[in-house]
């Protein structure tokens, strides 16, 4: 039986690439706006409100708000929360780590990224986890070349995480992005049979967003809200994410911020 190859969207015209970059650059701008507010004493609800107002004031659309019923503009995942944390009225405090995940729609095109912030003085274990996750994202981004299999990304991330004693979350992954929020190809952060077949040809736009845990890789969704994902063993989790465009010359990161940590940064 012949296996049907999936149709992976590719964006190759100057207009398409310009729109992709505009969406990603606004998203990065939004992250930089939020950056100084991610501190002890600020609630994640306040961060959400700031992001919501800023996005609307610039004429754009919060992509997460109402997505499959999600109730807020951004996701804020604190400590053992892996992803999809719903903003609330609990203030951030010294020692917390919090992932801020933002996605916006600009003229019908999506930009998506996240960062894990350390609040005040965190433990050495938390700092090492954040650093390793940050480095793993860039290793994954740089691992794949034009036309190469998606699995190179997961192989690089899993190898680096294992080498440093961390587990890679398996239930959640990166994804194609462009004129849709989530599209092919899926970008798992460990090698899979499908990721060995899917190729990142020039024009493919996707996210790389590894989630690393100090403990095991298994997670559990909160039954009360249906969104919040925690580590099963309640160990700390960290995540970083960029939107990436594969070009003829290799991967180009579209969501680089002006004020945030750049590739090679040491926290």
* pLDDT 10s digits, 153-210: 999 999 999 999 999 999 999 999 999 999 999 999 999 999 999 999 999 999 999 9
Cis? peptide before 185, omega within 30° of 0: yes
Would you say 206 and 158 are in contact if contact means Cβ atoms under 8 Å apart?
no
- The reply to whether 25 falls in a domain is yes
pLDDT value of position 1:
33
- The reply to whether 260 falls in a domain is no
- The reply to whether 266 falls in a domain is no
Residues in the chain where the model's pLDDT stays below 50: 1-4
- The reply to whether 113 falls in a domain is yes
What sign does the dihedral 150-151-152-154 (CA atoms) show?
A: positive
Q: Rounded to an integer, what distance in angstroms lies between the CA atom of residue 195 and that of residue 143? A: 13
| Range 197-218 burial, b when 16+ CB lie within 10 A, else e | ebbbeebbbbbbbbbbbbeebe
pTM for this model (two decimals): 0.96
Number of domains in the chain: 1
Binding-site residue numbers are 84, 101, 112, 175, 182, 209, 241
pLDDT value of position 7:
84
Q: Domain range spanning residue 216? A: 14-253
Binding-site residue numbers for a divalent metal cation are 101, 112, 175, 209, 241
User: Would strands 211-213 and 167-168 be described as parallel, antiparallel, or unpaired?
Assistant: antiparallel
Binding-site residue numbers for substrate are 84, 182
134, two tokens: 């940050």
- The reply to whether 2 falls in a domain is no
- The reply to whether 265 falls in a domain is no
Q: Rounded to an integer, what distance in angstroms lies between the CA atom of residue 256 and that of residue 262? A: 8
Q: Rounded to an integer, what distance in angstroms lies between the CA atom of residue 221 and that of residue 239? A: 17
- Residue 121 exposed, middle or buried by CB count within 10 Å (0-12, 13-18, 19+): exposed
The CATH number linked to 56 is: 3.90.230.10
What string of H, E and C letters represents the secondary structure of the chain?
Answer: CCCCCCCCCCCCCHHHHHHHHHHHHHHHHHHHHHHHHCCCCCEHHHHHHHHHHHHHHCCCEECCCCHHHCCCCCEEEECCEEECCCCCCCECCCCCEEEEEEEEEECCEEEEEEEEEECCCCCHHHHHHHHHHHHHHHHHHHHCCCCEECHHHHHHHHHHHHHCCCEECCCCCEEECCCCCCEEEEECCCCCHHHHHCEECCCCEEEECCEEECCCCCEEECCCCCCCEEECCCCCEEECEEEEEEECCEEEECCCCCCCCCCCCCC
What is the total residue count of the chain? 267
- The reply to whether 157 falls in a domain is yes
pLDDT value of position 5:
53
- The reply to whether 231 falls in a domain is yes
Would you say 134 and 160 are in contact if contact means Cβ atoms under 8 Å apart?
no
């Amino acid at each position: 039986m012949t296996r049907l190859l999936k149709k992976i969207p590719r964006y190759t015209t100057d207009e398409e690439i310009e729109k992709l970059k505009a969406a990603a650059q606004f998203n990065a701008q939004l992250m930089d706006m939020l950056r100084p507010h991610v501190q002890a004493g600020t609630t994640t609800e306040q961060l959400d409100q700031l992001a919501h107002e800023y996005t609307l004031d610039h004429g754009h659309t919060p992509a997460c708000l109402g997505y499959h019923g999600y109730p807020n503009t951004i996701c804020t995942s604190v400590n053992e929360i892996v992803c999809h944390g719903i903003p609330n009225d609990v203030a951030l405090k010294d020692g917390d780590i919090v992932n801020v995940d933002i996605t916006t729609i600009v003229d019908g095109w999506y930009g998506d990224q996240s960062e894990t912030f350390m609040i005040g003085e965190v433990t050495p274990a938390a700092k090492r986890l954040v650093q390793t996750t940050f480095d793993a994202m860039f290793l994954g981004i740089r691992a794949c070349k034009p036309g190469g299999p998606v699995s190179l990304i997961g192989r690089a991330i899993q190898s680096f995480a294992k080498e440093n004693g961390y587990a890679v979350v398996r239930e959640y992954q990166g994804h194609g992005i462009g004129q849709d929020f989530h599209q092919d190809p899926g970008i798992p952060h460990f090698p899979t049979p499908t990721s060995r077949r899917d190729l990142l040809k020039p024009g493919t736009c996707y996210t790389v967003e590894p989630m690393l845990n100090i403990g095991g890789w298994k997670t559990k969704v909160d039954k009360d809200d249906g969104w919040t994902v925690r580590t099963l063993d309640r160990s700390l989790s960290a995540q970083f994410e960029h939107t990436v465009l594969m070009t003829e010359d290799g991967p180009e990161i579209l969501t680089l911020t002006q004020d945030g940590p750049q590739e090679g940064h040491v926290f």
